[in-house]
Amino acid sequence: MNSHTIRVGDGSGVRPALADESTDALRRSNRRPVVLVVDDDEPLREALRLIFDPLFEVRLAGTGPEALSGLQRGAVDVAVVDLRMPGMSGIEFIERLKSLDPEIQTIILSGQNTFEMARKAVRLGVYDFLPKPFELQLLRTAVQQAARRRDWVRFERKRETALRQAALKGDAAIHERHMLASVTSELSDLLTAISGGLESLHADFGRTPTPLEPQLKDWQRQLENLLTQAELSRKLARPPRPTQSSASAQSPVDAAPMFEDLRRLLRAHEGGRRHPLVVRPPSTPVRLEVDSVAVLRILSNLGRNALEATPDLQPITVESWVSQPGTPLPESRPDEGCVVLRDSFEPDASHLVVEIRDTGRGISPALWRHLFVHPVTTKQGQGDVGLGLSVVRELVTTNRCALHLTTNPGVGTSVYLWIPAVELPKQP
């Protein structure tokens, strides 16, 4: 018999040296690899069954269609395929087989050792190509190596899947940490303001044993303000878990209370007591078509970033207006300090546009391309993103909003949030 073999590769260009850990895993496995023999020569098929049976589970088929129908019996590790068969050639069969399971290792048996056959075998990722007649030991060794490669590929796929799952868990943990940090910061500002208000009231009570009516009305006003801040704290205490479905399922709400809540949140921030702050709601009634709490979180994050990036006594301005359907958004120009988030933006809808403008130092050009990605920070001397523009990005996307940021170092930054909304008729 001819002992010559033609090695045409295994689909990767390298015959694998199996990793120690995957080889050990195979040795510990009691499963016998499954070898499928496809050849129209029945005596040869039976001979190969006897050769492989001690080490492998052997399945036989006389034609390609018969072999394909037999794949329903379970997974195959290695297919030993005759090149010339009636009805469906070995190349056609391997093409069908690889479309079903690209990781099945294939070995071709052929009396036609042409360059064209070798080229086709390489293209299909055939593990080995043995000419007829062949040495039985060479075939047995080739099948054993192909079975090990199949298990090695299976092992690597499981490891990659485990790594991807671990990465997803890590991303989820980072996301959860950012969300909780955002909630903690919002609540910290409010609780500090509530605590300070209660201390002030307690001191007034002690100094005024017999209060007059004006004093009582002033205390009542302060208590109502504290109750409003407490209710806002309760509203924000739930960590945001934004999803497209939950955002789109929100009942429409009036936008005016959101602007009052935003004013309270920014005033409760330490910077809000140092800067002139102007918050202007829209001049006409507007109904928000998305989760108002999520929008409030976005504006609160952006507003606090503006407060922290702006020198004392410089103004922070919040303006708002209604944009009609079809109004275009600008294009992102990261190299020029213009960044636009529009992944879920619906241009044919009407929007409430809210602008937060500061006259601070602006954002460094080195960060323009990386905004809204953890762990980028726009705050000098800080190693973390704080409230997190990555949190803002997710909330913007999952609530069908858009965000347009322009910054000019040394001059200031303007951020425009486009919120799905409907302008309502003015009350007579």
Q: At what angle do helices 213-236 and 136-207 cross, to 10 degrees?
A: 180
Fold of 20-168: Rossmann fold (3.40.50)
What would the two tokens of residue 84 be?
């010339």
- Asked if 72 and 112 count as a contact pair (C-beta separation under 8 A), the reply is no
Q: Which of 254-268, 275-289, 385-399 has the lowest mean pLDDT?
A: 385-399
Rg over CA atoms, the chain = 35
Q: pLDDT at position 158, please?
A: 84
- Asked if 351 and 322 count as a contact pair (C-beta separation under 8 A), the reply is yes
Burial class (CB in 10 A: 0-12, 13-18, 19+), 26: middle
Distances, alpha carbon 371 to alpha carbons 191, 200, 297, 306, 364, in Å: 30, 41, 18, 15, 10
Burial class (CB in 10 A: 0-12, 13-18, 19+), 422: middle
Fold of 247-423: Heat Shock Protein 90 (3.30.565)
Q: Return the domain boundaries, the chain.
A: 20-168, 247-423
Tell which residue, 37, 135, 43, has the closest CA to residue 81.
Answer: 37
Average pLDDT, the chain: 79
| Mean pLDDT to the nearest integer, 227-235 | 82
- 152-186: pLDDT as tens digits: 888 888 888 787 777 767 666 666 666 666 677 77
Q: pLDDT at position 372, please?
A: 73
- 37-48: pLDDT as tens digits: 999 989 988 989
Distances, alpha carbon 215 to alpha carbons 212, 222, 226, 402, in Å: 5, 11, 17, 47
- 273-313: pLDDT as tens digits: 888 899 999 999 999 999 888 899 899 889 988 888 888 78
Quick one: what percent of the chain has pLDDT higher than 70? 81
Res. 326: pLDDT tops 60: yes
- Residue 355, SS3 per DSSP: strand
Q: pLDDT at position 160, please?
A: 81
Who wins on pLDDT, 61 or 197? 61
For the ranges 33-37, 86-90, 243-247, the maximum mean pLDDT occurs at 33-37
- Asked if 38 and 81 count as a contact pair (C-beta separation under 8 A), the reply is yes
- 376-390: pLDDT as tens digits: 454 544 433 333 577
- 96-108: pLDDT as tens digits: 898 888 889 999 9
Confidence category of residue 36, pLDDT binned at 50, 70, 90: very high
| Mean pLDDT to the nearest integer, 84-89 | 86
Same topology, domains 20-168 and 247-423? Answer is no
- pTM: predicted TM-score of the whole model, two decimal places: 0.55
Res. 203: pLDDT tops 70: yes
